[in-house]
Structure 1
Amino acid sequence: MATSATPHLVPTPEQLIWQRDGFGVFFHFGVNTFAGKEWSDGTLSPQIFDPTNLDADEWVRLARDMGAKYVILTAKHHDGFCLWPTATTDYSVASSPWKNGRGDVVREIADACRKHDMKLGLYLSPWDRNAPQYEDAEVYDEFYLAQLRELCTNYGPLYELWFDGAGSAGREYAWDRIGALIDELQPGAMVFNMGPATIRWVG
Protein backbone atom coordinates (compact mmCIF):
# COMPACT_ATOMS: atom_id res chain seq x y z
CA MET A 1 0.00 0.00 0.00
CA ALA A 2 1.38 3.36 -0.98
CA THR A 3 1.97 5.88 1.76
CA SER A 4 2.52 9.57 1.40
CA ALA A 5 6.07 10.73 1.90
CA THR A 6 6.88 12.76 4.97
CA PRO A 7 7.18 16.38 3.85
CA HIS A 8 10.60 17.92 4.11
CA LEU A 9 10.88 20.64 6.72
CA VAL A 10 12.70 23.60 5.26
CA PRO A 11 14.04 26.25 7.63
CA THR A 12 13.24 29.86 6.93
CA PRO A 13 16.08 32.26 6.09
CA GLU A 14 15.74 33.72 9.59
CA GLN A 15 16.05 30.28 11.20
CA LEU A 16 19.17 29.56 9.17
CA ILE A 17 20.74 32.84 10.27
CA TRP A 18 19.90 32.05 13.90
CA GLN A 19 21.49 28.60 13.59
CA ARG A 20 24.61 29.99 11.94
CA ASP A 21 24.99 32.79 14.49
CA GLY A 22 25.29 30.06 17.10
CA PHE A 23 26.40 31.94 20.20
CA GLY A 24 24.46 34.51 22.19
CA VAL A 25 24.71 35.88 25.73
CA PHE A 26 21.85 36.10 28.22
CA PHE A 27 21.71 39.11 30.55
CA HIS A 28 19.65 37.86 33.51
CA PHE A 29 19.26 41.07 35.49
CA GLY A 30 16.47 42.65 37.50
CA VAL A 31 15.16 43.54 40.92
CA ASN A 32 16.18 40.09 42.20
CA THR A 33 19.81 40.98 41.53
CA PHE A 34 19.65 43.39 44.46
CA ALA A 35 18.14 40.82 46.84
CA GLY A 36 20.60 38.02 46.11
CA LYS A 37 17.88 35.88 44.54
CA GLU A 38 17.42 34.08 41.25
CA TRP A 39 13.60 34.26 41.49
CA SER A 40 11.19 36.15 43.72
CA ASP A 41 7.45 36.30 44.21
CA GLY A 42 6.78 39.83 42.95
CA THR A 43 6.84 41.51 46.35
CA LEU A 44 10.35 42.98 46.37
CA SER A 45 10.24 46.75 46.53
CA PRO A 46 11.28 48.68 43.41
CA GLN A 47 13.23 50.87 45.81
CA ILE A 48 16.00 48.27 46.02
CA PHE A 49 16.64 48.52 42.27
CA ASP A 50 19.42 51.10 42.18
CA PRO A 51 22.43 49.97 40.14
CA THR A 52 25.55 52.07 40.37
CA ASN A 53 27.66 52.55 37.27
CA LEU A 54 25.47 50.32 35.10
CA ASP A 55 27.39 50.17 31.83
CA ALA A 56 25.29 48.54 29.11
CA ASP A 57 27.95 49.45 26.57
CA GLU A 58 30.50 47.37 28.47
CA TRP A 59 28.13 44.40 28.76
CA VAL A 60 27.42 44.31 25.04
CA ARG A 61 31.00 45.00 24.03
CA LEU A 62 32.26 42.12 26.18
CA ALA A 63 29.64 39.80 24.69
CA ARG A 64 30.78 40.82 21.21
CA ASP A 65 34.43 40.34 22.12
CA MET A 66 33.64 36.79 23.32
CA GLY A 67 32.32 36.03 19.86
CA ALA A 68 28.60 36.36 20.53
CA LYS A 69 26.35 37.55 17.73
CA TYR A 70 23.43 38.58 19.93
CA VAL A 71 22.31 39.24 23.49
CA ILE A 72 19.02 38.52 25.25
CA LEU A 73 17.87 40.68 28.16
CA THR A 74 15.28 39.66 30.74
CA ALA A 75 12.97 42.62 30.19
CA LYS A 76 10.59 41.00 32.71
CA HIS A 77 11.16 37.84 34.74
CA HIS A 78 8.53 35.88 36.70
CA ASP A 79 8.50 38.47 39.50
CA GLY A 80 6.89 40.95 37.09
CA PHE A 81 9.44 43.75 37.52
CA CYS A 82 9.87 45.56 34.20
CA LEU A 83 13.26 46.90 33.13
CA TRP A 84 11.60 49.55 30.97
CA PRO A 85 9.19 52.34 32.02
CA THR A 86 6.05 50.50 30.95
CA ALA A 87 2.64 52.15 30.99
CA THR A 88 1.06 48.88 32.16
CA THR A 89 2.22 48.70 35.78
CA ASP A 90 4.02 50.67 38.48
CA TYR A 91 6.25 47.67 39.15
CA SER A 92 9.11 48.86 36.98
CA VAL A 93 12.26 50.94 36.81
CA ALA A 94 10.05 54.04 36.78
CA SER A 95 9.26 53.40 40.47
CA SER A 96 12.91 52.88 41.42
CA PRO A 97 15.49 55.42 42.61
CA TRP A 98 17.75 54.53 39.67
CA LYS A 99 18.16 57.69 37.59
CA ASN A 100 15.32 59.19 39.62
CA GLY A 101 12.85 56.84 37.96
CA ARG A 102 13.78 57.96 34.45
CA GLY A 103 16.03 55.06 33.52
CA ASP A 104 15.36 52.38 30.91
CA VAL A 105 17.60 49.31 30.93
CA VAL A 106 16.07 47.97 27.71
CA ARG A 107 16.85 51.25 25.95
CA GLU A 108 20.45 51.24 27.15
CA ILE A 109 21.03 47.66 26.01
CA ALA A 110 19.31 48.34 22.66
CA ASP A 111 21.46 51.42 22.06
CA ALA A 112 24.62 49.49 22.94
CA CYS A 113 23.64 46.71 20.54
CA ARG A 114 23.30 49.19 17.71
CA LYS A 115 26.65 50.76 18.57
CA HIS A 116 28.47 47.42 18.57
CA ASP A 117 26.58 45.82 15.66
CA MET A 118 24.99 43.20 17.91
CA LYS A 119 21.51 41.75 17.65
CA LEU A 120 18.99 42.24 20.46
CA GLY A 121 16.64 39.68 21.94
CA LEU A 122 14.18 40.19 24.78
CA TYR A 123 12.80 37.77 27.36
CA LEU A 124 9.26 38.53 28.55
CA SER A 125 7.92 36.04 31.09
CA PRO A 126 4.26 35.13 30.57
CA TRP A 127 3.99 34.18 34.24
CA ASP A 128 3.76 37.35 36.33
CA ARG A 129 3.74 36.97 40.11
CA ASN A 130 3.15 40.67 40.74
CA ALA A 131 0.25 41.42 38.39
CA PRO A 132 -3.06 41.23 40.30
CA GLN A 133 -4.91 40.60 37.04
CA TYR A 134 -2.98 37.38 36.41
CA GLU A 135 -5.83 35.32 37.90
CA ASP A 136 -8.23 36.69 35.28
CA ALA A 137 -6.89 35.18 32.06
CA GLU A 138 -8.79 37.47 29.71
CA VAL A 139 -7.74 40.64 31.52
CA TYR A 140 -4.16 39.46 31.89
CA ASP A 141 -3.89 38.63 28.19
CA GLU A 142 -4.64 42.28 27.39
CA PHE A 143 -2.05 43.39 29.96
CA TYR A 144 0.60 41.06 28.53
CA LEU A 145 -0.11 42.02 24.93
CA ALA A 146 0.27 45.68 25.87
CA GLN A 147 3.70 44.97 27.38
CA LEU A 148 4.77 42.99 24.33
CA ARG A 149 3.57 45.76 22.03
CA GLU A 150 5.68 48.31 23.91
CA LEU A 151 8.79 46.15 23.55
CA CYS A 152 8.14 45.36 19.90
CA THR A 153 7.49 49.01 19.05
CA ASN A 154 10.00 51.09 20.97
CA TYR A 155 13.41 49.39 20.71
CA GLY A 156 14.08 48.74 17.05
CA PRO A 157 14.45 45.36 15.33
CA LEU A 158 14.36 42.36 17.68
CA TYR A 159 16.31 39.25 16.81
CA GLU A 160 14.61 36.94 19.30
CA LEU A 161 11.65 36.91 21.68
CA TRP A 162 11.88 34.43 24.53
CA PHE A 163 8.72 33.11 26.20
CA ASP A 164 9.57 30.97 29.23
CA GLY A 165 7.15 28.24 30.29
CA ALA A 166 7.96 28.24 34.02
CA GLY A 167 4.92 28.66 36.26
CA SER A 168 2.50 28.29 33.37
CA ALA A 169 1.37 24.66 33.77
CA GLY A 170 -2.32 24.43 32.97
CA ARG A 171 -2.46 28.01 31.72
CA GLU A 172 -3.08 28.97 28.11
CA TYR A 173 -2.16 32.45 26.96
CA ALA A 174 -3.48 34.28 23.90
CA TRP A 175 -0.84 32.76 21.63
CA ASP A 176 -2.74 33.43 18.41
CA ARG A 177 -2.88 37.13 19.24
CA ILE A 178 0.71 37.14 20.47
CA GLY A 179 1.82 35.55 17.21
CA ALA A 180 -0.18 38.04 15.16
CA LEU A 181 1.37 40.95 17.05
CA ILE A 182 4.88 39.61 16.43
CA ASP A 183 4.08 39.05 12.75
CA GLU A 184 2.89 42.65 12.55
CA LEU A 185 5.67 44.38 14.46
CA GLN A 186 8.71 42.06 14.45
CA PRO A 187 8.20 39.59 11.60
CA GLY A 188 11.87 38.62 11.47
CA ALA A 189 12.20 37.75 15.17
CA MET A 190 12.84 34.19 16.25
CA VAL A 191 10.35 33.03 18.90
CA PHE A 192 11.60 30.70 21.60
CA ASN A 193 9.82 27.83 23.31
CA MET A 194 6.11 28.68 23.74
CA GLY A 195 3.25 29.76 21.52
CA PRO A 196 4.24 30.49 17.91
CA ALA A 197 7.74 29.12 18.49
CA THR A 198 10.22 29.02 15.63
CA ILE A 199 13.09 27.73 17.83
CA ARG A 200 13.05 25.42 20.86
CA TRP A 201 15.26 23.66 23.40
CA VAL A 202 17.89 21.42 21.85
CA GLY A 203 17.61 17.63 22.10
Structure 2
Amino acid sequence: MNHFMLPRSHSKGRTAQQGIALITSLLILVIVTLVAVSMYRSFGLQEKITGNTLEKQRSLLAADSALRYAEWWINQGNTGTGSACAGVVNANTQANMKICSNALGMPAVLPWANRFEYKPPTMTVLGGGGLNTATSGVVGDVNYATVPSLYISYLGIGPDGKSMLYQVTGVGYGGSTTSASVVQSTYAMTYATKDLSGP
Protein backbone atom coordinates (compact mmCIF):
# COMPACT_ATOMS: atom_id res chain seq x y z
CA MET A 1 0.00 0.00 0.00
CA ASN A 2 1.28 3.32 -1.06
CA HIS A 3 0.75 6.23 1.12
CA PHE A 4 0.84 9.57 -0.38
CA MET A 5 1.60 12.43 1.86
CA LEU A 6 0.04 15.67 1.07
CA PRO A 7 2.26 18.67 1.53
CA ARG A 8 1.55 20.51 4.70
CA SER A 9 0.81 24.16 4.56
CA HIS A 10 3.33 26.14 6.45
CA SER A 11 1.36 28.49 8.65
CA LYS A 12 4.57 30.11 9.80
CA GLY A 13 5.31 31.59 6.35
CA ARG A 14 1.76 32.74 5.97
CA THR A 15 1.88 34.51 9.32
CA ALA A 16 5.12 36.22 8.29
CA GLN A 17 3.49 37.50 5.10
CA GLN A 18 0.53 38.81 7.06
CA GLY A 19 2.91 40.56 9.47
CA ILE A 20 4.74 42.29 6.61
CA ALA A 21 1.42 43.37 5.09
CA LEU A 22 0.33 44.80 8.44
CA ILE A 23 3.57 46.74 8.89
CA THR A 24 3.38 48.06 5.29
CA SER A 25 -0.23 49.15 5.84
CA LEU A 26 0.69 50.94 9.06
CA LEU A 27 3.60 52.74 7.33
CA ILE A 28 1.30 53.86 4.50
CA LEU A 29 -1.25 55.05 7.07
CA VAL A 30 1.43 57.05 8.92
CA ILE A 31 2.62 58.64 5.63
CA VAL A 32 -0.92 59.55 4.58
CA THR A 33 -1.57 61.05 8.04
CA LEU A 34 1.61 63.15 7.85
CA VAL A 35 0.67 64.40 4.38
CA ALA A 36 -2.85 65.27 5.59
CA VAL A 37 -1.53 67.18 8.63
CA SER A 38 0.96 69.03 6.42
CA MET A 39 -1.79 70.02 3.97
CA TYR A 40 -4.03 71.15 6.84
CA ARG A 41 -1.29 73.39 8.21
CA SER A 42 -0.54 74.72 4.73
CA PHE A 43 -4.20 75.58 4.13
CA GLY A 44 -4.38 77.31 7.52
CA LEU A 45 -1.31 79.39 6.67
CA GLN A 46 -2.73 80.28 3.25
CA GLU A 47 -5.98 81.34 4.91
CA LYS A 48 -4.11 83.63 7.32
CA ILE A 49 -2.09 85.16 4.48
CA THR A 50 -5.28 85.80 2.51
CA GLY A 51 -6.98 87.37 5.54
CA ASN A 52 -4.00 89.64 6.21
CA THR A 53 -3.85 90.71 2.56
CA LEU A 54 -7.56 91.52 2.62
CA GLU A 55 -7.17 93.58 5.81
CA LYS A 56 -4.22 95.46 4.29
CA GLN A 57 -6.27 96.23 1.18
CA ARG A 58 -9.23 97.45 3.26
CA SER A 59 -7.09 99.78 5.35
CA LEU A 60 -5.29 101.10 2.26
CA LEU A 61 -8.58 101.89 0.50
CA ALA A 62 -9.91 103.62 3.64
CA ALA A 63 -6.74 105.75 3.89
CA ASP A 64 -6.93 106.58 0.18
CA SER A 65 -10.56 107.72 0.54
CA ALA A 66 -9.51 110.23 3.23
CA LEU A 67 -6.58 111.43 1.11
CA ARG A 68 -8.76 111.93 -1.99
CA TYR A 69 -11.37 113.80 0.04
CA ALA A 70 -8.69 116.20 1.33
CA GLU A 71 -7.32 116.76 -2.18
CA TRP A 72 -10.85 117.40 -3.50
CA TRP A 73 -11.44 119.87 -0.65
CA ILE A 74 -8.26 121.83 -1.52
CA ASN A 75 -9.26 121.82 -5.20
CA GLN A 76 -12.53 123.58 -4.28
CA GLY A 77 -10.49 126.73 -3.62
CA ASN A 78 -9.83 126.08 0.04
CA THR A 79 -6.23 127.25 0.13
CA GLY A 80 -4.01 129.48 2.23
CA THR A 81 -1.08 129.15 4.58
CA GLY A 82 -3.21 127.64 7.32
CA SER A 83 -3.49 128.02 11.06
CA ALA A 84 -2.61 125.84 14.04
CA CYS A 85 -4.65 122.63 14.24
CA ALA A 86 -5.48 120.84 17.47
CA GLY A 87 -7.78 118.03 18.53
CA VAL A 88 -10.11 115.72 16.63
CA VAL A 89 -12.44 117.44 14.15
CA ASN A 90 -15.34 116.04 12.10
CA ALA A 91 -14.33 116.55 8.45
CA ASN A 92 -17.69 115.39 7.08
CA THR A 93 -18.81 118.96 7.71
CA GLN A 94 -16.72 120.87 5.16
CA ALA A 95 -16.85 124.08 7.19
CA ASN A 96 -14.83 122.31 9.92
CA MET A 97 -11.94 121.56 7.56
CA LYS A 98 -8.84 123.72 7.44
CA ILE A 99 -5.23 123.74 6.39
CA CYS A 100 -2.77 123.36 9.25
CA SER A 101 0.30 125.56 9.63
CA ASN A 102 1.89 123.02 11.97
CA ALA A 103 3.22 119.87 10.29
CA LEU A 104 2.07 116.41 11.31
CA GLY A 105 4.78 115.17 13.69
CA MET A 106 5.04 111.42 13.17
CA PRO A 107 2.47 110.04 10.70
CA ALA A 108 3.31 106.41 11.54
CA VAL A 109 2.44 106.83 15.24
CA LEU A 110 -1.30 106.18 15.47
CA PRO A 111 -3.79 107.50 16.35
CA TRP A 112 -2.86 111.11 15.65
CA ALA A 113 -3.66 113.55 18.45
CA ASN A 114 -4.60 116.24 15.88
CA ARG A 115 -6.69 115.05 12.93
CA PHE A 116 -9.76 115.48 10.79
CA GLU A 117 -11.96 112.39 10.71
CA TYR A 118 -13.77 111.67 7.45
CA LYS A 119 -16.30 108.85 7.15
CA PRO A 120 -17.35 108.03 3.57
CA PRO A 121 -21.15 107.70 3.22
CA THR A 122 -21.17 103.94 2.52
CA MET A 123 -18.62 102.96 5.19
CA THR A 124 -19.82 101.13 8.29
CA VAL A 125 -17.67 101.85 11.34
CA LEU A 126 -18.06 99.89 14.55
CA GLY A 127 -15.56 99.74 17.41
CA GLY A 128 -14.00 96.30 17.37
CA GLY A 129 -14.63 95.80 13.64
CA GLY A 130 -15.90 92.36 12.62
CA LEU A 131 -18.59 91.52 10.08
CA ASN A 132 -21.85 93.39 9.59
CA THR A 133 -25.05 91.82 10.79
CA ALA A 134 -28.50 92.38 9.33
CA THR A 135 -29.08 95.32 11.72
CA SER A 136 -25.80 97.14 11.13
CA GLY A 137 -25.55 97.28 7.33
CA VAL A 138 -24.83 95.07 4.36
CA VAL A 139 -24.67 91.48 5.65
CA GLY A 140 -21.23 89.92 5.22
CA ASP A 141 -19.43 93.21 4.63
CA VAL A 142 -16.77 94.36 7.07
CA ASN A 143 -17.20 96.83 9.92
CA TYR A 144 -14.24 99.18 9.86
CA ALA A 145 -12.69 99.51 13.31
CA THR A 146 -12.11 103.29 13.21
CA VAL A 147 -13.06 106.27 11.04
CA PRO A 148 -10.36 107.24 8.49
CA SER A 149 -8.46 110.44 9.30
CA LEU A 150 -6.71 113.11 7.27
CA TYR A 151 -4.34 115.99 7.85
CA ILE A 152 -3.43 118.85 5.50
CA SER A 153 -0.34 120.95 6.15
CA TYR A 154 1.01 123.91 4.21
CA LEU A 155 4.51 123.37 2.76
CA GLY A 156 5.09 126.74 1.05
CA ILE A 157 5.36 128.15 -2.46
CA GLY A 158 6.47 125.78 -5.21
CA PRO A 159 9.65 126.26 -7.28
CA ASP A 160 7.66 127.85 -10.12
CA GLY A 161 6.48 130.66 -7.83
CA LYS A 162 2.87 130.08 -8.89
CA SER A 163 1.98 126.97 -6.88
CA MET A 164 1.10 126.54 -3.24
CA LEU A 165 2.24 123.14 -1.97
CA TYR A 166 0.36 121.07 0.58
CA GLN A 167 1.17 117.77 2.21
CA VAL A 168 -1.93 115.64 2.50
CA THR A 169 -1.83 112.60 4.79
CA GLY A 170 -4.54 109.99 5.23
CA VAL A 171 -4.85 107.01 7.55
CA GLY A 172 -7.34 104.17 7.35
CA TYR A 173 -8.05 101.04 9.34
CA GLY A 174 -9.40 97.67 8.29
CA GLY A 175 -11.62 95.43 10.38
CA SER A 176 -9.34 95.88 13.40
CA THR A 177 -7.12 98.61 14.81
CA THR A 178 -4.05 96.44 14.23
CA SER A 179 -4.37 96.81 10.45
CA ALA A 180 -3.68 100.41 9.46
CA SER A 181 -2.32 102.17 6.37
CA VAL A 182 -0.89 105.67 6.07
CA VAL A 183 -0.68 107.41 2.68
CA GLN A 184 0.75 110.81 1.80
CA SER A 185 0.77 113.07 -1.23
CA THR A 186 2.15 116.46 -2.08
CA TYR A 187 -0.62 118.48 -3.68
CA ALA A 188 0.10 121.61 -5.72
CA MET A 189 -2.56 124.26 -6.25
CA THR A 190 -1.44 126.41 -9.17
CA TYR A 191 -2.77 129.85 -9.90
CA ALA A 192 -2.25 131.43 -13.28
CA THR A 193 -3.06 134.95 -14.38
CA LYS A 194 -4.22 135.62 -17.87
CA ASP A 195 -3.45 138.89 -19.63
CA LEU A 196 -6.85 140.16 -20.72
CA SER A 197 -5.47 143.35 -22.37
CA GLY A 198 -4.18 141.57 -25.47
CA PRO A 199 -5.98 139.98 -28.41
TM-score of the aligned structures, taking structure 2 as reference length: 0.23
Report which of the two structures shows the higher radius of gyration computed on alpha carbons.
Answer: 2
Greater relative CO (CA pairs within 8 A, separation 6+):
2
